[in-house]
Amino acid sequence: MESEAQGTGRRAIHAKALSIAVATGAYALSFGAISVSTGLDVWQTQALSLLMFTGASQFAFVGIVGAGGGLVAAVLTAWLLGARNSMYAVGLNPILRPRGVRRLVAAQTTIDESTAMALAHPEPVSNSRYAFWITGAWIYLLWNAGTLVGALSAKAIGDPSTLGLDAATAAALLALLWPRLVERQVWAVALAAAGVAIVLTPVLQPGLPVLAAAMVALLAGMLGGRIGGRNTSP
């Protein structure tokens, strides 16, 4: 009975993971098309999805490159946006306990969705591991497939303005950000960062206003941590 219940639970996890991957793959279609429209070729676009594999960072990278920003600014912005995955890995390590090659695979597939699925199924721990691996695997597969289809489609279209792809990066990033704006403090930080970016955009090169906005968020996080630490001390 226990193994039967576990099998039923895993089928439910698998179904949910697949539905999340399908939805995420739709973003990948946009990424592939946007990336090619900004000047990257199909292989460069595919390499970003295969190796970087974190949506917000990829959209930010191609957005800055497409706007004429420097490579350093694009890489730093992408890195800052993807740095949260390192924090996820620290929390997941006691659950996954990866060894050997699995450590590399786990690092590559530690993203928002796989982390959320692992934490949403804490008992038994085998289900938590299963939720992480199956979610990461499906999303990696469909994200890369979607990227390829989107990139090839954009190449066939030619002029990106035909479908409004030249203005789609900001919309895609907003779509990724919106579900995370659930608390007043997060809203305040987001608005402050956006304000800094808007003020600096006319005077700085593309990419630098985004980095400045990211620094606002980092500063807010540091200050919030210090305040929280003082409040919880004896």
Q: What is the pLDDT of residues 214-227, one digit of tens each?
A: 677 667 666 654 44
- How far from the centroid of its chain's Cα atoms is residue 30's Cα? 14
Q: What is the phi-psi region of residue 58: left when phi exceeds 0, alpha when psi lies from -120 to 50, beta otherwise?
A: alpha
pLDDT confidence of residue 129: 93
Calpha distance 120→134 (Å, rounded): 14
Greatest CA separation for the chain: 67
Please say if the pLDDT value at position 228 is more than 60. no
Rounded distance between C-alpha atoms, residue 136 and residue 88, angstroms = 13
**Whole-prediction pTM:** 0.72
Residue 3 has pLDDT above 80, yes or no: no
The pLDDT of residue 88: 86
- Rounded to whole angstroms, the Cα distance separating 31 from 148 reads 9
- Summary mean pLDDT of the chain: 78
Q: Give me the pLDDT at residue 24, please.
A: 85
Query: Distance between CA atoms of 135 and 113, rounded to whole angstroms?
Result: 7
Query: Would you say residue 192 has pLDDT above 50?
Result: yes
* Count of beta carbons in the 10 Å neighbourhood of residue 54: 23
Domain ranges of the chain: 2-165, 181-234
> Is the pLDDT assigned to residue 60 strictly greater than 60?
yes
Residue 232 pLDDT greater than 50, yes or no: no
Predicted local distance difference test score (pLDDT) of residue 179: 59
% of the chain surpassing 90 pLDDT: 24
Segment 159-183 shows an average pLDDT of: 55
For the cut 70, the answer to whether the pLDDT of residue 170 exceeds it is no
Q: What pLDDT band is residue 230 in, cutting at 50, 70 and 90? A: very low
